[in-house]
Amino acid sequence: MRKTVLFFLSTSFILTSGVILGQEKATPQQVVQKVQQAAGFLSKQGEAGLATFKERRSDYVWANTYVFVIDCQQKKVAANPLFGFEDMPLSKLKDPTGMVIGPMFCPIGSAKGYWVQYHWPKAGQKEPARKLTYIEPVPDTPYTVGAGIYDDQLTITDVEAISGE
């Protein structure tokens, strides 16, 4: 009986540890796919679709990342499910190193997606980590959507090659 209980507890820990410890990592391909899916959704739904990106339990929060929305016309964060930056002016959105990162989320004259890098704390942590984020303008709206991965090794060129974007 004791062995059965120990086996059950060990197995349960192993099976859930990836979720509990946040070991499941999004890939560059998954990030691009989700961002493009989000751009299509928001293009159809418009402003009414923003609520979806404010929810912690949506299709746009997965693995160790999430999709956020920027309003480039109003120059502010439009929707973010995890950090409470909603309505923050882009000019005040800085990474922990002090670099202003908000404006890089609103490309001038670009209709194509692109990757950017900055530092940002992982969910539940205080120390900043290097983050690579894929941004895509949403057609016929003032919005861009983005999601990212944490990686100390990959370059922008690497993630472009891996993701095909």
3-state secondary structure of 165: coil
pLDDT at 13 over 90: no
Question: What pLDDT is attached to residue 76?
Answer: 85
Question: What pLDDT is attached to residue 98?
Answer: 93
Amino acid at the residue 151 = D
Kindly state the average pLDDT of the residues 103-116. Answer: 88
Say if CB 91 and CB 75 are below 8 A apart: yes
Question: What pLDDT is attached to residue 146?
Answer: 94
β-partners of residue 77 are 70
Q: Give the residue, 25 or 5, on which the prediction is more confident.
A: 25
Question: What pLDDT is attached to residue 85?
Answer: 78
pLDDT at 75 over 80: yes
Q: Which helix (H) or strand (E) holds 2?
A: helix 2-20
Question: What pLDDT is attached to residue 54?
Answer: 86
Mean pLDDT across the chain:
82
Domains of the chain listed by start with CATH number: 23-163 (3.30.450.20)
β-partners of residue 117 are 132
pLDDT at 55 over 60: yes
**Per-residue pLDDT tens over the stretch 123-149:** 788 899 999 999 999 999 999 999 999
Question: What pLDDT is attached to residue 83?
Answer: 67
3-state secondary structure of 101: coil
Residues in the chain, how many? 165
pLDDT at 6 over 60: no
**In angstroms, rounded to a whole number, what is the distance separating the alpha carbons of residues 34 and 66?**
9
Question: What pLDDT is attached to residue 1?
Answer: 44
**In angstroms, rounded to a whole number, what is the distance separating the alpha carbons of residues 96 and 158?**
24
Please tell me the pTM assigned to this model.
0.82
Contacts of 9 (CB under 8 A, 6+ apart): none
Q: Read out DSSP for 27-87?
A: -HHHHHHHHHHHHHHHHHHGGGGGGGGG-SSSTTEETTEE-EEEETTTTEEEE-SSS--TT
pLDDT at 5 over 60: no
pLDDT at 4 over 70: no
